[in-house]
Amino acid sequence: MTANIITVIALVAGITWLGMLFVSAIRNRGGEEVAPNLRPGIDDEKIETRRLEGGQKAAIAFSAFLAISLPLYFLTEQERQASFVEEFSTASITRGEHIVAEFACFSCHGPEGSGGTTSYVEKRSGVTVSWAVPSLDDVFFRYEEDEVNFWVTYGRGNTPMPAWGIPGGGPLNEEQVVDVVNYLKTIQIAQDEYLGKVEPGVNTALDTLANADGTVETAILEQSQVVAEIEAAPADVAVVTPLAERARETLDGAGTGIDTDADGLSDAAETELSAISQEAVDGFRIMEPVTLDPAVADAELAADALAAIEAAAETDPIVRSNLAAIETAMSDGAVDPAVGLSEAALTTLEETRAAAVEAGIEVPASVDDLDGANALVAALDAAATATEPVQGAADLSAAATTAIEDGSDPDGDGLSTAAENTITSQIDAAISATMPTQVALVVLDPTNPASVGGEPDLTTANTMVGNLESLATTLTVTEQNQSALLEAEQGGLAFLEESLQAKRYSVDFAGVAEAMGSSEEEAQRAVGLFNSKCARCHTAGYSAGVPYTQEAGSGGFGPALWDGRPTVQFGEANEDPEQDLLVQFIVRGSEAETPYGINGFGSGRMPAFGSALALEDVELLAAYLRGGNMDGKGGTSVLP
């Protein structure tokens, strides 16, 4: 503010001076001007008195002005510079936000950079996978600014992350990369929220291991379906191509004829396009939809549906999981009329009864049929509504009531309500799983200009025809390259089948505990910490998913850690964590061109985890790494 006042004063003084010069010039106008060298000189008295004194006074005034104004100007300079910094920073952040939106960074890194997945061809298998993409909203807890700048500029080779900076072959100049980094700083979560990710991350990692075999089996089914669809391409081309040609011909001529709803499509065209859509759906539908009604005896429909899906599984392996779910539902949901409940319901009710006994509620000694189940509910209701209600009795009563409803057989066809609902949903899922994404039933109404979802019929028709043409093109290309595609995809299938057999992704916690010299519970936590925080870089294939994961610590973007290699690099454990080289390396991470451990020289790639993990967890990780038996299936050894 003061700087602005000084500027105004200076401008006023300058204008005043110019004005004085102008007035002086006006006054001197008149007769012929005498040349300066012909004028008489100024006498000493005038020079040494009035003129000299005037000059001295002006100099004193100007000196006083400078003495006052310059300190005032400098007092405000720091604030002025800070405001410029803030202005430039805000502009950089805004530009960075636009760049992130323009290049769709969050389509891979998740909403607001919270982490996500993207499609990527896994190099060992050749299978297209959903690659786990790291979060960006906590990246500055792991890396310094210059390191984040490096990753944005050069990307990460052998992953879906491309280089974005010009030096790495990307489209952004140095300033734009800085803008992106500055924007990322603004989306960082609070540290307590970052720390709050630890436990869910550990639990997710352990759950992933517990369900690993099922995950690989699902991947095998999906890859088997890819192979089956390539094999079926010639037959599918014969179905889709004529339909796509008919649809295009119909759409091109849709402007001719009666158009009742004035939507740009003739009534005849709408009818024909609807028929073509139905033919396309029928061409890929493995069976007609079936809806079982728990109030109507329809067990025969369930048996027919099971037979239809069994037949479909021969050509569409993906429905085998639906077939297994239906078989389980029919087995567990079978109801003996003498009992009145399914076996699954009786199991749930027995668990509820045991929980009631533990809570001190007096309940029947067993639940063997519907009468016993009703007696259990009555006892639980009594406990819940007593003068002094038993805590949890109401919840147990609700659970028992739900089990009775799901496990009963109102229509007397031998299938429980839950079983019939499960069978219906699995039939729908099987039909959807085998239907190409480009095929959907479209019914256009000649009397309604927006028949489907409120969209104009002309838009719907164009989308439908375009999808059919796209599918026809894809199938034609697949047919033409069938041999090469089959070879590649069958290789991927063989990889997955071998993965299930080898189980390189599995961990024997007892073996890990023995190597660590710890309890099995501590070993489980150590593995969970490693898989949630370290495996992305230090276990080959981890980001591609369980089926592609190699042995724990086998190395990927970061070095291999198995066979006690960390002990070679960092030495034996030290009782003082401040003196333990491995613990401190995990806490601080790697600094570029800075020595670490015994023989290491940093690249800056290893992030710091001191702000993410408690010291006890870091020490647990260090013990796990030094144990040398990271999957628990081999002997401990230290490399020479």
The tens digit of pLDDT for each residue in 115-145 reads: 999 999 999 999 999 999 999 999 999 899 9
- Range with the poorest average pLDDT among 85-94, 151-160, 402-411, 529-538: 85-94
pLDDT, residue 640, reads 34
CA–CA gap between residue 458 and residue 450 (Å, rounded): 8
Q: Does the pLDDT of residue 588 top 90, yes or no?
A: yes
Report the DSSP beta bridge partners of residue 130: 119
pLDDT at position 392 is: 93
Give me the mean pLDDT over the 193-219 stretch.
96
Return the SS3 of 128. strand
Q: Mind listing the pLDDT tens digit for each residue in 240-278?
A: 999 999 999 999 999 999 999 999 999 999 999 999 999
Query: Residue 77 has what pLDDT?
Result: 67
Question: Regarding predicted confidence, which is higher, 396 or 32?
Answer: 396
Residue 44 has pLDDT above 90, yes or no: no
pLDDT score, position 429? 96
pLDDT bracket for residue 13 (50, 70, 90): confident
Task: Pick from 385-389, 539-543, 564-568 the range whose average pLDDT is largest.
Answer: 539-543
All structural domains of the chain, each given as residue ranges with its CATH number in brackets, are 2-21+45-90 (no CATH), 103-137+139-188 (1.10.760), 190-214+504-640 (no CATH), 336-408 (no CATH)
In the Cβ-directed half-sphere of 595, how many Cα atoms lie within 13 Å?
4
- The DSSP code sequence of 81-105 is HHHHHHHHHHHHHHHHHHHHHHTTT
Q: What is the mean pLDDT of residues 481-494?
A: 97
Output the pLDDT for position 525.
97
DSSP assigned state of 334: B
pLDDT grade for 43, boundaries at 50, 70 and 90: low
Mean pLDDT, range 455-461, rounded to an integer: 96
32 band by pLDDT with thresholds 50, 70 and 90: low
Is the predicted pLDDT of residue 54 greater than 90, yes or no?
Answer: no
Rounded distance between C-alpha atoms, residue 41 and residue 263, angstroms? 100
Percentage of the chain exceeding pLDDT 90: 80
Lowest mean pLDDT across 172-176, 385-389, 478-482 = 385-389
The predicted structure's pLDDT at residue 78: 74
* C-alpha to C-alpha distance for 189 and 317, rounded to whole angstroms: 44
Q: How far is CA 9 from CA 64, 79, 99, 220, 299, in A?
A: 14, 21, 44, 82, 97
Max CA separation in the chain (angstroms): 141
Q: What is the pLDDT of residue 25?
A: 62
Q: Give the pLDDT confidence score for residue 26 in this predicted structure.
A: 64
Predicted local confidence at residue 634, as pLDDT = 82
Lowest-pLDDT choice from 60-64, 159-163, 271-275: 60-64
pLDDT value, residue 511: 95
Provide the pLDDT for residue 609.
92
pLDDT at position 33: 64
Of the ranges 28-32, 209-213, 279-283, 371-375, which one carries the lowest mean pLDDT score? 28-32
* 513 has pLDDT over 70: yes
pLDDT beyond 60 at 29: no
In this prediction, residues 600-626 reach a mean pLDDT of 92
Q: Report helix, strand or coil for 573.
A: coil
What pLDDT, on a 0 to 100 scale, did the predictor assign at position 103? 95
Among the listed residues 222, 218, 221, 136, the one whose alpha carbon sits nearest the alpha carbon of residue 184 = 136
CA distances from residue 90 to 179, 437, 545 in whole angstroms, order as listed: 10, 44, 39
- The arithmetic mean of pLDDT across residues 38-49, rounded, is 65
What pLDDT score does 68 carry? 79
Q: What digits encode the pLDDT tens for the residues 288-342?
A: 999 999 999 999 999 999 999 999 999 999 999 999 999 999 999 999 999 999 9
Reply yes or no on whether the pLDDT at 45 is more than 50. yes
Residue 71 pLDDT > 70: yes
What does the pLDDT read at residue 111? Answer: 94
Q: Does residue 638 surpass a pLDDT of 60?
A: no
Percent of the chain with pLDDT over 70: 91
Long-range contacts of 258-266 (CB under 8 A, 24+ apart): 260/446, 260/447, 261/445, 261/446, 261/447, 261/448, 261/449, 261/457, 262/449, 263/449, 263/450, 263/456, 263/457, 263/458, 264/456, 264/457, 264/458, 265/444, 265/457, 265/458, 265/461
